[in-house]
Structure 1
Amino acid sequence: MNEHFVREKRIDITRLGNGLTVATERMPEIATATLGVWVGTGSRNEMVHEHGLSHLIEHMAFKGTTRRTARQIAEDIENVGGDINAATSVEYTSYTARVLGENVDVALDVLGDILIHSAFDAAELAREKGVILQEHAAVEDTPDDLIYDAFMEMAYPGQPIGRPILGTPDTIKAFDEATIRAFLAREYTPGKMVLAAAGDVDHARIVDAAERFFGAMPVAEIREPEPGLYLGGERRLSRKLEQANIVLGLPGLSFKDPGYYATHLFAHILGGGLTSRLWHEVRENRGLAYSIDAFHWPFSDCGLFGIGAGTAGADVAELMEVTLACTRQAAQDISEIEMVRAKAQMKVALLTALESPGGRIERIARQLLSWGRIVPSDEIVQKVDAITADQVREAGHRLLQGAPTLAAIGPIKGLPSLNSIAAGLRG
């Protein structure tokens, strides 16, 4: 029996009998429909021998099913003017399509087909492994990508959440159809899947199609991923490059933690825009870097704060000294004017993401998977507005007590020791 349990403004949500959630938001002013299936599984759900498997499965979804060749998948979508895509992250995998409203059934047919009836043909699998190995090699040749992989691995060493999403050449080469199907049976269970649609959509029509294409999916026990345990550490890769890329990190917070918004605001004030402290001091006053930014990556049970920059080898020591001083100072004297500006920028970013159907379905799917409900924008804005400067300063102070993570690549001989950096964070 299907259960229709939420109606909020223009959003309808229905849960199918097998646990798959269907959510739609009708946007009368839009002639197209954007649809997607979000699975609450990503790279952190992989076992050691499955490292990189989520990403490979995402690629293989477009390589043929029992009904369609890879060419026919593309043709069926593009013949109606649509496009189709997929993405893998640490905690989610998504498959999305955009078509005219009148072609919603076509998009859902294709999405259902690639998710449930993928063939995993041996020749296609071999070819796609080659593509991903090239993708892996491209990262190895791109210092500003490679360094963030190293950063995550040092923050969460030996853990699924810290492993690069692409996998390693050894794990990629070892994957076979049996491994793929075992992972899908375990992780792609309807209880952790959301089908979301926005634009020119009719809820009843989407639910009917979802029942046809996904209603027979078997239910499996939901397996929780290994908890993320921040440890910290360092990786230094001395290479002959024109520029040193450096990422400095500290333990952050889950998006479910009450202190999340204060921590996010601290990161934004420190290095989130052209008026941020790091940008003003490092880029504008001293010319030490083309760009520098601070960020806060929240996950379901942990988080990671960081500062990333690129600079000349001769400026590495000064860049670190200035970065540490700015960070310490921000934890002491963030002003009300900075608070007002950061809150306004955060609200604009939130609301801008909702201006497209794609942004809306991503919000719907992620919130349903994370919270089991739609979190109204007004509720988020109220939480942001309620944060005080004292709370943000305290969030900064708490960050500075954590053990640092350092990842650096390039001409980094002048980079201080990790112990020296840890002492510099605390003043």
Structure 2
Amino acid sequence: MTARMHRLSNGLTVAVEHMAGVETAAVGLYAAVGARSEPDGRTGLAHMVEHMVFKGAASRDARAIAEDIEDVGGSLNAWTARDQTVFNARLLAADLPLGVEIIADLIRAPHFDAAELEREKSVVLAELGEARDTPDDIVFDHLQAAAFPGQSLGRPVLGDETSIAAIDVTALHGWLAGQYRPEALVLAAAGKIDEDAFLRQAEARFGDMAPGSPPSIPSATFTAGVHHDVRRFDQLHLALAFPGVGYLDADVHALGVFAGAAGGGASSRLFQEVREKRGLAYSVYSWNHSYADTGVFGVYLAAARRDGAKALALTREVLARTAEELTDAELQRAKIQAKAGLLMGAESVQARCDNLARGIQIHGRIAPLSESVERFEAVTLAQARRAGAAALAGGEVLATVGGKLATAA
């Protein structure tokens, strides 16, 4: 497998990875903008744009977009995060030009019809209602809001009723014009790729975009806090978080290993202590997520309401003990799990395409998987303990759905 990166004259990055032995391809446009880039009062705008481009673009209406991609057995998808928006297609290799064409049309020639926008607002409001009624989903929005209060990084990706109602066609066009600038975009493809042909397609579809970069993203500061959603559900859903590190921080891999050892699988300390030995939760796991300038290390668990306080206390205890007593065997297990996750996740053309683009957005270059594997393997016991201890000492955020707990650590 070979991966190469190119830049068009306007600053847009094009990346391609040829994979032997496959007959399909994945292509995506990866924008380094998302909900975090939204100005005050515009929460949900990035997500609404992602929805609305599929209502019609260039010569196609919504039905034609769906039919043209499915007529060749392909699929088209998109998603919005706090720091990224992605439009991607999966097709047979011969149909890759169609995928590039449609993706280009979506962001360069959307119809943005006012009547369609009003209908789509109802769809997004239904999506918002579904999220709010899903406690193991909405608890993470509560956690993010408590960790980054009053900051764009703390706002929900979907927005709220007021911000969604305020979105108009002018705002949609303004978002694309201001944020989707070539220097913030990566067009990536992986699979059975003719590199020269793909570069010609990229130049034809994106080469005439006016050069430029999007506005700078506001910085964020992790702040200790609490959010209780006291609506009654069958279980108490709890998320506990501590300050993590940015994805270029020297400790990012060490904290990832610590998170894996603490609660990354059925053999982890949290799973064994909270679920297996005490039976205080059905689901419990930890994670580590990084942004450009900050991050979040956290734990999620779902427990019976009567067991919530005990589960929370035990979780805090287990995390503290892990930072002090993490063993070499646990370290090695977490490192091999991280390595396996990277390599197993990279065996599909879509995963290779995603990894290719994300590596470029983070590092400004193609970052081979072997590099991440080596960095995980290089983490020492002292580094993992230190990274975990630093996170735990940085302040705590607690979010719950289904009840209120005492918050004293």
Which interval holds the TM-score relative to the shorter structure? Answer: over 0.9
Determine the structure 1 residue equivalent to 2:242: 250
Q: Which residue of 2 aligns with 1:129?
A: 121
Could you tell me which residue of structure 2 aligns to residue 235 of structure 1? 227
Partner of 1:3: none
Secondary structure of the equivalent of 1:292?
Answer: strand
Deviations 1:194-248 (A, max 9, x none): 1101111111111111111111111234322100111121011222221111111
Cα offset, 1:416, TM superposition: 2.1
Confirm or deny: 8 A CA contact 1:36 1:96 kept in the other structure: yes
Match of 1:270 among 262, 268, 288: 262
Matched position secondary structure for 1:406: strand
2:346 aligns to what SS in structure 1? helix
Deviates more, 1:388-397 or 1:219-228: 219-228
Aligned with 1:211 (options 203, 226, 229) = 203
Q: Distance in 2 between matches of 1:279 and 1:386?
A: 26
Scaled by the length of structure 2, the TM-score of the pair is: 0.98
Residue of structure 2 in register with 1:115 after alignment: 107
Equivalent position SS for 2:27: strand
Deviates more, 1:63-72 or 1:219-228: 219-228
- Whether the 8 Å CA contact 1:198–1:358 is kept in 2: the answer is yes
Structure-2 separation of matches of 1:126 and 1:239: 30
Tell me which moved more, 145-154 or 65-74. 65-74
- Give the superposition deviation at 1:180: 1.1
Q: Secondary structure at the match of 1:61?
A: helix
Alpha-carbon contact 1:186-1:220 (below 8 Å) kept: no
Q: Displacement, 1:12?
A: 2.1
Query: Does 1:372 find its partner at 2:364?
Result: yes
Deviates further, 307-316 or 280-289:
307-316
Q: Please state if 1:79 is matched with 2:71.
A: yes
Please state how far the C-alpha of 1:141 moved relative to its aligned partner: 1.1
- Counterpart of 1:314 (choices 306, 311, 315) is 306
1:185 aligns with 2:177: yes
Quote the offset at 1:380 in angstroms. 1.6
User: Tell me, which stretches of 5 or more residues in structure 1 are unaligned?
Assistant: 1-8, 422-427
Q: Distance in 2 between matches of 1:184 and 1:197?
A: 22
Whole-angstrom distance in 2 between the partners of 1:377 and 1:209: 27
Structure-1 separation of matches of 2:84 and 2:195: 24
Q: Does 1:302 align with 2:297?
A: no
Which of 337, 344, 347 matches 1:352? Answer: 344
When normalised by structure 1's length, the TM-score is 0.94
Question: What amino acid is the match of 1:121?
Answer: D
Residue 48 of structure 1 aligns to a residue whose secondary structure is coil
Please say if residues 359 and 367 of structure 2, whose CA atoms lie closer than 8 Å, have aligned partners that are also in contact.
yes
SS of residue matched to 1:246: strand
Moved more, 236-245 or 335-344: 236-245
- Which stretch of structure 1 is more off in the superposition, 105-114 or 274-283? 105-114
The one-character-per-residue Cα deviations of 1:294-335 (angstroms, maximum 9, x if unpaired) are: 111111110011111111111112111211111111011100
Which region of structure 1 is more displaced relative to structure 2, 186-195 or 213-222? 213-222
CA contact (8 A) 2:226 2:399 kept: yes
Amino acid at match of 1:353: G
How many matched pairs?
409
Q: Secondary structure at the match of 1:103?
A: helix
- Residue of structure 1 in register with 2:49 after alignment: 57
What's 2:400 paired with?
A: 408
Give the percent of matched residue pairs that are identical in Structure 1 and Structure 2. Answer: 38
Find the residue that maps to 2:232 and give its secondary structure: coil
Q: Is the 8 A contact 1:196 1:364 kept in 2?
A: yes
Aligned residue for 1:369, secondary structure, equals helix
Return the letter of the residue paired with 2:207.
Answer: G
- Distance in 2 of aligned mates of 1:43 and 1:232: 22
CA distance in 2, matches of 1:59, 1:222: 21
- Kindly provide the amino acid, as one letter, of the partner of residue 369 in structure 2: S
**CA deviation after TM superposition for structure 1 residue 49, in Å:** 2.3
CA RMSD of superposed structures (Å): 1.1
In 2, Cα distance between equivalents of 1:52 and 1:220: 24
Name the SS of the counterpart of 2:173 in structure 1.
Answer: helix
Alignment partner for residue 142 of structure 2, among 147, 150, 165? 150
| Cα distance between partner residues in 2 of 1:379 and 1:105 | 31
Cα deviation, 1:236-270, whole Å, max 9, x if unaligned, reads 12222211111111111111100111111111111
Q: Secondary structure at the match of 1:403?
A: coil
Structure 2 distance, partners of 1:50, 1:324, is 37
1:35 CA displacement: 0.6
Q: Deviations over 1:86-134 (max 9, x none)?
A: 0111111000011111111111111111110001011211111110000
Aligned to 1:396: 388
Q: Secondary structure at the match of 1:62?
A: helix
**Equivalent AA in structure 1 for residue 230 of structure 2:** S
Shift of 1:164: 0.6
Partner of 1:28: 20
Measure, in 1, the Cα distance between the counterparts of 2:399 and 2:125. 23
Kindly indicate whether the alpha-carbon contact (under 8 Å) linking 2:15 and 2:356 is maintained by their aligned counterparts in 1: yes
Partner of 1:425: none
CA deviations over 1:159-215 (Å, ceiling 9, x no partner): 111101000111111111111111111110011101101111111111111111111
Which of 197, 200, 215 is residue 192 of structure 2 equivalent to?
A: 200
Q: Is the 8 A contact 2:4 2:366 kept in 1?
A: no
Question: Deviations along 1:14-53, whole A, 9 cap, x unmatched?
Answer: 1111111111111121111111100110110110122101
User: Structure 2: 5+ residue runs without aligned partners?
Assistant: none
Question: CA separation in 1, counterparts of 2:75 and 2:97?
Answer: 14
